[in-house]
Amino acid sequence: MNILELSLISSAFLCSLVAGFTLIFAIVVMPGISKFKDKEFLRAFQLIDGIIQNNQPIFLLIWLGSVISVLATLFSSLKTLGLQDSVMIISVCCIYLFGVQGITVRIHLPLNRRIKNLDINNLDEEKLNEERENFENKWNYFNKIRTGIAFFVSLLFFVFISML
């Protein structure tokens, strides 16, 4: 087994786990906490995100591991196959990096930080509702996009593995 095969297997596995993680947020976590009133919703999200931001080791291993393995796949495909034969693999790697990780960095992390920094105990009902409105729909919309991209990319990595 060469480095390209190993990196593709690693990328398929880790990107699938990321897809599962974002899917759980899309179909369980966010719909579940959406039943709360504004203050409780915001507090629940602060607590959930706090666990992730506290460098939860398994989450970090999966999330950052997916980035490292996808970069390894990108470079090993270039080295092993050459530019012309690795265009599809490189494209899929870029789709993951920009479509999942890029959305996370550009959309989710700033939204998460904003909620994290809220002093929800000192906000009135109107401000709590405004903060939730500014957060929830945008966060969920882009989470569904990155979930779809992560699943699509994972599937393509498995296709590439079968073609080697």
How does pLDDT run across 69-128, given as a tens digit for each residue?
999 999 999 999 999 999 999 999 999 999 999 999 999 999 999 999 999 999 999 999
E-assigned strand segments in 22-64: none
User: Residues 87-111, buried b or exposed e (16+ Cβ, 10 A)?
Assistant: eebbebbebbbebbbebbeebbeeb
2 dihedral zone (left: phi>0; alpha: psi -120 to 50; beta)? beta
pLDDT tens digits, one per residue of 134-159: 999 999 999 999 999 999 999 999 99
User: From CA 106, how far away is CA 24, in angstroms rounded?
Assistant: 21
pTM of the entire structure?
A: 0.94
Quote the pLDDT of residue 84.
95
SS3 68: helix
25-60 confidence digits (pLDDT tens): 999 999 999 999 999 999 999 999 999 989 899 999
The Cα 60–Cα 29 span in angstroms is 19
d(CA 124, CA 8): 50
